[in-house]
Amino acid sequence: MQARFTTFALAVALSAAVAGCSNNNGAPTSPTSGENGSASAAADGTTLKATAPGSLEPSGRTVVDTLRPTLRFSAGRGKFNDASLAHRLELYQENILILSTDLSTGTQDYTIPDNVEMRYATVYRWRVRAQKDNSFGPWASTADFVTPNAPSVGGGPVSGGSGPVGPTRSISFQEAFGIIVRFHNEARWNLGSGSSREDRVAFLWSAVAAIHYGHPVWNPAGGDPGWCVKDAGGGRPPSDDVLVRCDTRDAWDLIGGAGANGYSFHQDYLGRLSGEQNVYPPPPSSLPR
């Protein structure tokens, strides 16, 4: 009796195993990579079947005419239909990533914003790839460009001069303010709606450079190295309307409505700047020539 029960149990187990094998439909255990994305990556690490974007401009170390150029490219495309995809763009200064941003579907250009610190006469590299949801295609070949040299001339026909400059001296805020206003008026700068932020920073740096170092036209009596410009720290761009004492960090806002028509000069004391803000002399290359 015991032997017949054991034989019957073994037969039932074998029958169930055979039935299980006959019901296997051969479905894959993981999804294959497709245009809509997949958790499995291709050999190059991509998870989206799409072409790399192309026609990146500027490229080839072209010297651009602004610190905030517009980066343009032709969109990456899905390999099995022509649907547009979103993109990821990265910008590097040397080997340091300074910008990574997602561009919405249909966007094929991007202007570098004011909150990204950009330097004059510097090589920048950038690249872009297509993406959809959490999947991404291959990067385009990296493009590079060079930012322009720092401006070194005034905004109008009175651009500089030559002659002696007096020794270092102490310049009061009122005298410094007067030099800045005179430089604006006589060199015919326009800081209104037709100006860019780079234009306004160039004006302030040139004016403060004349105060800091002295200048044969705008400050022939001699410079005061106690006057500086500043930025707000954290990679933010330089201020275009604030004058600062280098040692005490006392600061004055000089221009109301900078960047808009109807702007005006004023003397608005801001107090002493907080520690995260950077205070520094304008570069000598900013001096009007």
pLDDT tens by residue, 173-195? 999 999 999 999 999 899 998 89
Q: Where along the chain do the CATH 2.60.40.10 domains lie?
A: 54-146
Question: Of 49-53, 91-95, 252-256, where does the model show the most confidence?
Answer: 252-256
* CA gap 267, 96 in Å, rounded: 39
Task: Give the percent of the chain with pLDDT over 90.
Answer: 50
Three-state DSSP string of 205-247: HHHHHHHHHCECCCECCCCCCCEEEEECCCCCCECCCEEEECC
Second-level CATH architecture of 54-146: Sandwich (2.60)
Q: Is the pLDDT of residue 150 over 80?
A: no
pLDDT band, very low/low/confident/very high, at 162 (cuts 50, 70, 90): low
Question: Which range, of 66-70, 208-212, 247-251, averages the lowest pLDDT?
Answer: 66-70
Task: Identify the bridge partners of residue 123 per DSSP, sorted by sequence position.
Answer: 146
pLDDT tens by residue, 112-130? 987 888 887 889 999 999 8
Residues 6+ apart with CB under 8 A from 153: 159, 160, 288, 289
Is 110 within 8 Å of 70 (Cβ atoms)? Answer: yes
Question: Of 10-24, 114-128, 261-275, where does the model show the most confidence?
Answer: 261-275
Shortest CA distance to 112 belongs to which of 101, 122, 96, 121?
101
Strands 143-146 and 62-63: parallel
Q: What is the pTM of this model?
A: 0.48
Sign of the CA dihedral running 189, 192, 194, 198: positive
Query: Can you give the pLDDT at residue 183?
Result: 94
Shortest CA distance to 109 belongs to which of 35, 53, 62, 65?
53
AA letter at 146: V
pLDDT band, very low/low/confident/very high, at 4 (cuts 50, 70, 90): very low
pLDDT band, very low/low/confident/very high, at 45 (cuts 50, 70, 90): low
